[in-house]
Amino acid sequence: MGLYDTFGRCQIKAGPCAMGNYEVGEKHVPLADGVYVCYEGIVVIVGGEFVAEFKTLTDKWGIPIDPEAALEARNPVGQMLKKMKEDPAG
């Protein structure tokens, strides 16, 4: 499985994870700047600081984006399990 860092309520496996726990406002976190979409929510890192955590994500028209649906499309384990369920004979 691997190690996950926790940012607020969100678990992220990216970079040198060491099972650290971070809260909004902490500086020098071990992630590159960006917006990270997790099953538990969304984490924003700017200038090496954990600046925000959101439960929901919306597109530019204000329509909610389901983080789980966005992630499942890229989840190799989930895709393999879906394929096995659709075609058990393989």
pLDDT-derived band at 1 (thresholds 50, 70, 90) equals very low
Comparing 50 with 31, the larger pLDDT belongs to: 50
Q: Any idea where the domains of the chain sit in the sequence?
A: 5-86
The residue type of 11 is Q
**pLDDT value of residue 71:** 87
State the Cα–Cα distance between residues 13 and 38, nearest whole angstrom.
10
Examine the pLDDT at 51 and tell me if it is beyond 90.
Answer: yes
The per-residue b/e assignment along 49-75, b for 16 or more CB within 10 angstroms, e otherwise, is bbbebeeeeeeeeeeeeebeeeeeeee
H/E run at residue 38: strand 34-38
Q: What is the pLDDT of residues 59-78, one digit of tens each?
A: 999 999 888 888 888 888 88
Q: What is the pLDDT of residues 24-40, one digit of tens each?
A: 999 999 889 999 999 89
